Amino acid sequence: MSTLIYWFKNDLRLIDNPALLEACNRADRLLPIYIHLPQAAHVFGFPREGFHRKAFLRESLKDLRVQLRALGSDLLEYAGEPADILAQLAQDTHANAVYCERIEAPEEIRRSQEILGRGITLQEFWQSSMLSPDSLPFTAQDMPDMFTQFRKKVEYAGLKFSPPVIAPSKIPALPELAQIPLMQSSQELDNSMHQFLGGERNALEHLKQYLARRLPDTYKETRNQLIGQDYSSKFSPYLALGCVSARTIVAKLDVYEQTHGANDGIYWLWFELLWRDYFRFLHFKYGIQLYREAGLSGTPISKGGYQHFESWRTGSTGKSLIDAGMRELLKTGYLSNRMRQIVASYWIYDLQGDWRLGAAWFESQLIDYDVYSNQGNWLYLAGLGTDPRGGRRFNIAKQEQDHDPRGEYQRLWL
């Protein structure tokens, strides 16, 4: 008799979750769990997981629980160090192994090592990218450093996505309930007001309406706008928690293209999702080097800018475009790609701030916080990543002229 634990991480879904499918196929009894990590406050005092992120996570967990219960199972939530919790649960349930997705970032790798160090069998599956790493026409170590080279090789090889897998049709029964005290489950906590509703079913609904309204057709023209729901896809919060997989999105886009014909907007969405994969695969190649102050450059740059952090963070620098952006982030947990670039550039180049502190603030606030994309984009803007052209300094006056000439965005958030 095989008892397995399924540890949900940033894959809060049933559809296209190969790790979960495999666990369901192998187990006689399965314990689905989620672990809230101990999040020490950042050294500057703000929580690593801010209000909006927490709310979006709560909804996503709640939706997952409802779906698991409909299949005769459940989702149990714990809080603490995964190695401690898993060791205790494995002992209580006599589980043979823990199945979960693999996250290729330093903290997550360290945690996996701790779990293995406790003698627990850990089966990790890579499943958060659109392209399968095995299908790439190069090994991780030979991956082209520059995005354009990477994209060209992918396009030349004709790679678009790996087909998604189906949801498990049934979930094995729960083992005898664990003795470790459960955390109060997400469904019992208050809901908060914010513009995105978390969870797999909301993600699929969002994708459906986005396609039904033919928004991919205009994506290329609208994607740099700043105001509203429709100028960009808003897939990112769902992708970040894995409420929907990138492969499911591109598989639906493929059907859309077959139905309505190819266009630049569809290509451009795929192109942006390829950036997401690129930052993931860079982690296979460079790992912890992407987290150093000097990034991939040999030279540590000694920046501080800490005295300006409070005014940047709260949107009170006196520079109205920047303040509008930082207030949008603070109030909603979301910011357009264009505004992310502008406020990050302002932090790094105008305020001479430490890029890692800027990245930490984004981590705390963004409901679509994704370790690979956040780290990758910040490093790229700071000119410490793989881009040979150096940093990306944005001319704020020009950005204002190009993207908010009538000041509507600034009026909205100030």
CB atoms within 10 A of CB 252: 18
6 vs 355, beta carbon nearer ligand FAD: 355
177 vs 262, beta carbon nearer ligand FAD: 262
Shortest Cβ 368–ligand FAD spacing (Å): 4
Q: From the centroid of its chain, how far is CA 399?
A: 26
CB atoms within 10 A of CB 67: 20
The CA distances from residue 315 to 36, 229, 304, 414, in Å, are 30, 22, 19, 9
75 vs 370, beta carbon nearer ligand FAD: 370
Please list, in sequence order, all residues whose beta carbon lies within 8 angstroms of the beta carbon of residue 173, skipping any fewer than 6 positions away: 28, 29, 30, 72, 73
Please list, in sequence order, all residues whose beta carbon lies within 8 angstroms of the beta carbon of residue 386, skipping any fewer than 6 positions away: 145, 146, 147, 282, 296, 380
30 vs 273, beta carbon nearer ligand FAD: 273
Shortest Cβ 351–ligand FAD spacing (Å): 14
Shortest Cβ 179–ligand FAD spacing (Å): 37
Shortest Cβ 1–ligand FAD spacing (Å): 41
- Say how far apart CA 149 and CA 42 lie, in whole Å: 36
| Side-chain half-sphere exposure of 55, counting CA atoms within 13 A | 18
Residue with tokens 């192998």, as numbered in its chain: 26
Shortest Cβ 382–ligand FAD spacing (Å): 9
Shortest Cβ 321–ligand FAD spacing (Å): 15
- Say how far apart CA 186 and CA 353 lie, in whole Å: 36
Shortest Cβ 207–ligand FAD spacing (Å): 11
346 vs 369, beta carbon nearer ligand FAD: 369
Shortest Cβ 380–ligand FAD spacing (Å): 8
Counting DSSP H helices and E strands in the chain, the numbers are 17, 5
159 vs 183, beta carbon nearer ligand FAD: 159
68 vs 130, beta carbon nearer ligand FAD: 130
φ/ψ of residue 259, rounded to 5: -80, -45
Question: Terminal CA-to-CA distance of the chain, rounded, Å?
Answer: 61
Shortest Cβ 369–ligand FAD spacing (Å): 5
Where do contacts with ligand FAD occur on this chain (CB under 6 A)?
223, 232-236, 239-240, 269, 272-273, 275-276, 279, 336-337, 340-341, 344, 362, 366, 368-370, 373-374, 377-378, 381
Burial of 57 (0-12, 13-18, 19+ CB in 10 A): buried
φ/ψ of residue 296, rounded to 5: -90, -5
32 vs 237, beta carbon nearer ligand FAD: 237
78 vs 362, beta carbon nearer ligand FAD: 362
| Side-chain half-sphere exposure of 304, counting CA atoms within 13 A | 2
Beta bridge partners of 7: 33, 100
